Amino acid sequence: MNNSTRFTSTFPVKEFGKIKEKVLNWAKQFGTFCFLDNHQYQLTPHSQECILAAGIDRSIASDSLSELQQFMQDQPGWLFGHLSYDLKEHLGFAPSTRPDAIGFPCIYFFQPAVLIRFNEHEMQIEASYPDEVFNAIHSTPQGRISTGGTVGTLNYRIPRDEYISIIEKLRGHILRGDCYEINFCQEIYSLEAQVDPVSIYTSLVSISPSPFSALYRMNDKWLICASPERFLAKKGSHVLSQPIKGTSGRKPTPAEDEESRRQLENSTKDRSENVMVVDLVRNDLSKVCREGTVKVDELFGIYTFPQVHQMISTVSGELKPGTDFKSIIEATFPMGSMTGAPKKRVIELIEEYEPSRRGIFSGAVGYMEPNGDFDFNVVIRSVMYNATSHYLSFQAGSGITFYSDPEKEWEECLVKAEAILNVIG
Residues whose CB falls within 8 Å of the CB of residue 413, separated by 6 or more in sequence, listed in order? 186, 396, 397, 398
Contact between residue 308 and residue 415 where contact means Cβ atoms under 8 Å apart: yes
Per-residue pLDDT, 147? 62
Who wins on pLDDT, 158 or 306? Answer: 158
CATH no. for residue 11? Answer: 3.60.120.10
Task: Say how many domains are in the chain.
Answer: 1
- The pLDDT of residue 13 is 94
Type of residue numbered 39? H
Mean pLDDT to the nearest integer, 121-130: 96
Summarised one tens digit per residue, pLDDT across range 302-321 is 998 888 899 999 999 999 99
Output the pLDDT for position 208: 87
Does 169 score more than 90 pLDDT?
yes
Q: E strands, 342-387, where?
A: 364-368, 374-377, 382-386
Helix 343-353, helix 160-176: angle, nearest 10:
150
Q: What is the pLDDT of residue 199?
A: 92
If phi over 0 gives left and psi between -120 and 50 gives alpha, with beta otherwise, what is residue 372?
A: left
Q: CA separation (Å) from 161 to 156, 300, 349?
A: 12, 32, 19
Euclidean distance between CA atoms 156 and 168, whole angstroms: 19
| pLDDT tens digits, 311-355 | 999 999 999 999 999 999 999 999 999 999 999 999 999 999 999
Position with higher pLDDT, 3 vs 337: 337
**More confident site: 402 or 235:** 235
**Residue 1: per-residue pLDDT:** 47
Distance CA(103)–CA(99), nearest Å, equals: 9
Higher-confidence residue: 398 or 54? 54
Q: Within 13 Å and on the Cβ side, how many CA atoms surround 63?
A: 13
* Structural domain of 175: 3-424
Q: Are 398 and 182 in contact (CB under 8 A)?
A: no
The DSSP bridge pattern shows strands 364-368 and 50-62 to be: unpaired
Q: Output the pLDDT for position 146.
A: 64
Model confidence over 62-115: pLDDT tens digits? 999 999 999 999 999 999 999 999 999 999 999 999 999 999 999 999 999 999
**pLDDT class of 416 with cuts at 50, 70, 90:** confident
Paired strand residues for 164: none
- In this prediction, residue 148 carries a pLDDT of 63
pLDDT at position 337: 92
